[in-house]
Amino acid sequence: MTSPRKICVVTGSRAEYGLLYWLMKEILADADLCLQVAATGMHLSPEFGLTYRQIEEDGFVIDAKVEMLLSSDAPAGIAKSIGLGTIGFADALGRLEPDLMVVLGDRFEILAAVQAAMVMGVPIAHIHGGEITEGAVDESIRHGITKLAQWHFVAAEPYRKRVVQMGEDPARVFNFGAPGLDALTRTDWLARAELEAELGLCLGSPLFLVTYHPVTLAHESPEIPMEELLAALEQFPEAAIVFTYPNADAGGRCLIECIDRFVAQNPNRAKAFVSLGQRRYLSLMREADVVVGNSSSGLIEAPVLKKATVNIGDRQKGRLKASSVIDAAERRDAIAEALRRALSDEFRAALPLARSLYGQGDASRRIREQLKAPLPEARKHFFDIEHGY
């Protein structure tokens, strides 16, 4: 009898864990697979809520905790964190000896993990490759991970074509959709009253759910666009506002200070959270009138819930966007105008017509089945496309 295949799933942030949750459950329940969990980055930081505890509360055993995150808001600090992470993952992989590593997305924590795996001959399966986010350094990290990975689970057909265009064998690229959508068909939703009790905030109308991350390739200080966003929100004094903190990117900590000042000035209608957890976050999105900021959840999950999104700035520039998404420049007048449009009767009436561009909510099952196929060789052949020039 053969031993179950050891699948090491790496997670470094609350958002990414939420997208991986149902895939991890699928792997855990499959007798042919053995789930290994490696937690790193923000999960292990008191500053970002020690969210590894949520992973454990959800019934998963963390097989490796890889400390890497320096308390720094500077690009040099992020670069040093990547180096620490690569060292830590070399130790973890040497101990766990996985048959395959599964990673998602484009964050620097994941770059550290895949660098170690590549050198150590561990095949890599990458989720959400081929996408474009022109305003963030994550863009380059995502494409770099693509070139280090052997299997690719993309979220839409244009992304499949782009990964192939990067020289990846089409037989190794699978368009299964976004695994984050799986939660929308499986979540035990919290009712509005339950959310109010758990959050300690009256969820008035309109309700804004706000997540704004640093635009890491921007030339100006991230405080400037954040202050523009907050000034726009001030134009809606009747709105209840729930903030989730930004990621641990360069400039993220100064954004947290801006959010905290706004909340302190508006204690009766605004509240900020280090981490809401998947169930509360998605339940809150379902109740919200507008999803605001520059998080990918406004482009992937919100349209499925028929919620308006005001997408600010260039962080998500290049991603597929449903009809429920309104783009706005990082200026208070542009953001306020976009919010007014999102709240208009005409726009709200059209929201039921919004369609998912990222699959149908069965990605985790399909990925799990592929994880049982014969493992790809670490050595890859560059797949050339004739362009006629």
Residue 388 scores a pLDDT above 60: no
Number of Cβ within 10 Å of residue 333's Cβ equals: 13
d(CA 72, CA 77): 5
Residue 344 scores a pLDDT above 60: yes
Number of Cβ within 10 Å of residue 193's Cβ equals: 9
5-176+362-370 CATH, one of 3.30.70.660, 3.40.1280.10, 3.40.50.2000, 3.30.70.360 = 3.40.50.2000
pLDDT tens digits, one per residue of 87-106: 999 999 999 999 999 999 99
pLDDT of residue 360: 86
pLDDT of residue 387: 63
Which pLDDT band holds residue 56 (cuts at 50, 70, 90)? very high
**92-96, 138-142, 170-174, 217-221: which has the minimum mean pLDDT?**
217-221
pLDDT of residue 351: 97
Residue 248 scores a pLDDT above 80: no
Q: Domain spanning 186-353 has what CATH number?
A: 3.40.50.2000
Pick the closest to residue 323 from 30, 263, 112, 346 (CA basis). Answer: 346
Which pLDDT band holds residue 299 (cuts at 50, 70, 90)? very high
Which pLDDT band holds residue 219 (cuts at 50, 70, 90)? low
pLDDT tens digits, one per residue of 124-155: 999 999 999 877 788 899 999 999 999 999 99
pLDDT tens digits, one per residue of 59-91: 999 999 999 999 877 889 989 999 999 999 999
Residue 216 scores a pLDDT above 70: no
| Residue 321 burial class via C-beta count within 10 angstroms: exposed 0-12, middle 13-18, buried 19 and up | middle
Token duo for residue 371: 């994880």
Kindly report the pTM of this predicted structure.
0.89
Q: Are strands 151-154 and 240-244 parallel, antiparallel or unpaired?
A: unpaired
The secondary structure of 169-187 as a DSSP string is: -GGGEEE---GGGGHHHH-
| Residue 136 burial class via C-beta count within 10 angstroms: exposed 0-12, middle 13-18, buried 19 and up | buried
d(CA 228, CA 335): 8
pLDDT tens digits, one per residue of 264-277: 999 999 999 988 98
d(CA 100, CA 8): 6
d(CA 124, CA 378): 8
d(CA 159, CA 149): 15
pLDDT of residue 217: 64
Number of Cβ within 10 Å of residue 121's Cβ equals: 9
pLDDT of residue 1: 63
Answer yes or no: are the C-beta atoms of 23 and 368 closer than 8 Å: yes
d(CA 212, CA 206): 19
Give percent of the chain with pLDDT exceeding 90. Answer: 82
Residue 374 scores a pLDDT above 80: yes
Pick the closest to residue 270 from 286, 279, 281, 259 (CA basis). Answer: 259
Evaluate whether 5-176+362-370 and 186-353 have a shared fold.
Answer: yes
d(CA 54, CA 329): 35
| Element (DSSP H or E) covering residue 242 | strand 240-244
Q: Where are the domains of the chain?
A: 5-176+362-370, 186-353
C-alpha distances (whole Å) from 243 to each of 64, 94, 170, 212, 246 are 30, 39, 40, 9, 9
For residue 267, give the amino acid letter: P
d(CA 145, CA 104): 9
| Element (DSSP H or E) covering residue 109 | helix 108-119
